[in-house]
Amino acid sequence: NAGVMQNPRHLVRRRGQEARLRCSPVKGHSHVYWYRQLPEEGLKFMVYLQKENIIDESGMPKERFSAEFPKEGPSILRIQQVVRGDSAAYFCASSPPSTGELFFGEGSRLTVL
């Protein structure tokens, strides 16, 4: 009975590189959400996706960040040309179509050197 699976759990990148974070939702869940937790802060909403559609990206930085949830495969959060300020824990959550309850993964911790 797998929950939300995120990988990698830890990722280290140098400034200017790209970071790709993957999220496999709970089986049967068609809605995926990404949150970011900066050091000493609470989680902040970034984006809400359904299969092949971005529903709400109001929390996404305007540049360098993108997210997708393709028909097949995991959801991907992509950060281009990373900067030190991107260092954070990135949490993915999923929910079934019928209820609003979110199920979160363990998070992926990105460190930018």
Partner 1 sequence: GNSVTQMEGPVTLSEEAFLTINCTYTATGYPSLFWYVQYPGEGLQLLLKATKADDKGSNKGFEATYRKETTSFHLEKGSVQVSDSAVYFCALSDVNDYKLSFGAGTTVTVRA
Question: What residue ranges bind partner 1 (CB under 8 A)?
Answer: 3-4, 31, 33, 35, 37, 40-45, 48, 56, 58-59, 91, 93, 95, 100-107
**Residue 66 beta carbon to partner 1: minimum distance, rounded to whole angstroms:** 19
> Rounded distance, CA 24 to CA 76, Å?
9
* Residue whose CB is less far from partner 1, 32 or 82: 32
Q: Which residues pair with 77 in a beta bridge?
A: 21, 67
**Residue 16 beta carbon to partner 1: minimum distance, rounded to whole angstroms:** 29
> Rounded distance, CA 13 to CA 84, Å?
9
**Residue 68 beta carbon to partner 1: minimum distance, rounded to whole angstroms:** 18
Q: If you compute the radius of gyration of the chain from its CA atoms, what whole number of angstroms results?
A: 13
Task: From 54, 108, 63, 106, select the one nearest 83 (Cα to Cα).
Answer: 63
* Residue whose CB is less far from partner 1, 49 or 112: 49
